[in-house]
Amino acid sequence: MSIRIALDNQPEFYTNIDFIQGRIILGINRPEQIGSIVVKLEGESKTALQAPNAFDPQHMARLQTGPQRPPGSPATENHKILYKLQQVFPDDYYASSSNPYGAYPLQAGEHEFPFKFKLPINNACSDPMAMSKIGGMANVGGFGGGGMFGIGGVRVMDGSKQLYLRHVTRTLPPSLTGYPMEAEIRYYIKVTIQRPGLLKENWRYQIGLKFLPIEPPRPKPTSQEAFARRPFTFRPQSPQPDKKRSSLFNFGSSSDSKSAATLEASTDVAPAPAIEISARLPHPSILTCNKPIPLRLIAKKLNNNPEQVYLVSFQMELIGRTDVRALELHNQKINRWVVVSNPNLNIPLTTGPTDEVGKELVIPDHVWKNMSLPNTVAPSFVTCNLSRKYELEITVGLAWGQPKKGLTSTKSPPVILLPLRFAQVEVYSGITPPPELLEASTSTRPGRATFTNNVPPRLPPRQNSVTTSPQQQQPQRPPQTFDQAPAQPAHDPLYPPQLAAGQDAPPYDDAPPSYDEAVAENLAGPFDGMQSRPAYSGVTNENAPSQMPSEKN
């Protein structure tokens, strides 16, 4: 027996509205009785944290907002952000033949079963109606019988577990690893081959996928800029008096000459140079994966000093802060990416010694304009138990005077390091959504999709037939009745309705899609066959085993 999943035209990564299609290739060397073959498209966001020890200051960052847990006890969350099912066997030909045991024969050889999924826009776990209808054996939803004695059905996710977790409705997050035993986001394609029988186990196989979401609608470009500004004044240097040789016959005049030289030098000391460095980004500050940072660096002269100040070093770091939540425990992981680092610069910050005070100079951007963000940087995202936000930190080195080169230089000019920080920047994936989706998101208020006919709304009933003036009209409250019980919802997600004796379960009925999902259903993906996709390495190996602790059933 061999199982293989072959994807058609598999790209470097998938994104929203993409089609994932391929074939399940099953090879068997003898005839087998198969109940059903179900393909699943799954996405999971897992987190796991341990309760901190009150006497360990290193773990106090894992704050507990709810009831206190014993130190060291784990808390885990597993959100099914994506869950789709498709039955590829039995098809219409096999289903037309009645089989009392719920199994269909497959002859020895190689069999192919095509499948096709369309990736949605938003996560699935935030819909309580859809989650409450998933659970138990797959044959309950119409995926084939459970075999003899009801054993051997395909088990699907227990959606009721998602109802006890906190959720948000956002765009699907990117694939993310790098936090072993603490957090990861993975996407899979799984296949389960049901083999009815008491001593027969189901065959399972899965492969991993890389996912990078589309970016939200970008705001219109404006002339506004966000800036980080820092002025600095060098410390005045004490003058060094010239050393003169003293003879044996001028003991009395040496002290007078030194004091006179010191007084003369102190009167000739000019004020130390003062300069202001400001880093500017377009507002709102949006960076793009695999693209250079649109930074402008401006130097401003603050006092009248003819001496030159030089930019001698430049470093730009992107700081990622990943907020991890598992039930009532919280933790933050910090990552740093060095985008540019050049310690051997010699760029003057004024055009000349005669520049007037307040004159600004735009520093040439050849140092960073060709440096793109690393392909390991994931876009900013927010999901139910994980979120990622970014900061940008720039460190510039300024020298008072021309930097000296070579080993013969005895004295180097004073150098200071100025940090400039943007506390909040957004990182977009660079995948532009289709124009139709952008137009729909801006022209129509998002929400649940509703389908109504063209019948106009009914008018409210008249209260009385007496015409009154506007001053005499009083709002009338509807009569209150206390003997009637409040209306109960037709379906409570926490307590699904039970089947009566002899009643058949209806097939799975998906919840009504959101407006974005309804619009995107008929749209093509953002990439066509001729357009290449940018590089993304948020997951080193999508087929590597999970590094999260095993769940307890």
How confident is the model at residue 53, as a pLDDT? 77
Query: Which CATH number applies to 2-214+512-520: 3.30.930.10, 2.60.40.640, 3.40.50.720, 3.40.228.10?
Result: 2.60.40.640
Confidence of residue 507 (pLDDT cuts 50, 70, 90): very low
- The tokens describing 184, both together, are 């990861």
Residues 365 and 359: their CA atoms lie apart, in Å, by: 19
Per the CB < 8 A criterion, the answer to whether 280 and 365 are in contact is no
Q: Which residue has the higher pLDDT, 280 or 451?
A: 280
Q: Could you state, in order of their start, the residue ranges of all structural domains in the chain?
A: 2-214+512-520, 225-238+271-428
Question: Mean pLDDT of all residues in the chain?
Answer: 79
- The tokens describing 494, both together, are 């926490």
Tell me what the mean pLDDT of segment 327-350 comes to.
94
Q: Residue by residue, what is the 3-state secondary structure of 213-279?
A: CCCCCCCCCCCCEEEEEEEEECCCCCCCCCCCCCCCCCHHHHHHHHHHHHHHHHHCCCCCCEEEEEE
The reply to whether 225-238+271-428 shares the fold of 2-214+512-520 is yes
How confident is the model at residue 439, as a pLDDT? 74
Query: Which CATH number applies to 225-238+271-428: 1.10.10, 2.60.40, 3.30.479, 2.30.130?
Result: 2.60.40
Exposure string over 224-240, b if 16+ CB within 10 A, otherwise e: eebebeeebebeeeeee
Looking at mean pLDDT, say which of 65-79, 307-321, 517-531 comes out highest: 307-321
How confident is the model at residue 553, as a pLDDT? 53
Looking at mean pLDDT, say which of 87-101, 132-146, 460-474, 524-538 comes out highest: 87-101
The three-point CA angle 216-221-223 to 5° equals 145
The 10s digit of each residue's pLDDT in 377-396 is 999 999 999 999 999 999 99
Is 15 a residue whose pLDDT tops 80? yes
How confident is the model at residue 488, as a pLDDT? 46
Q: Which residue has the higher pLDDT, 151 or 163?
A: 163
How confident is the model at residue 68, as a pLDDT? 72
How confident is the model at residue 148, as a pLDDT? 44
Q: Which residue has the higher pLDDT, 165 or 256?
A: 165
Report the DSSP beta bridge partners of residue 425. 390
How confident is the model at residue 471, as a pLDDT? 47
For 190, phi then psi, to 5°, come to -120, 145
The 10s digit of each residue's pLDDT in 109-135 is 999 999 999 999 999 998 888 887 776
Name the pTM for this structure.
0.77
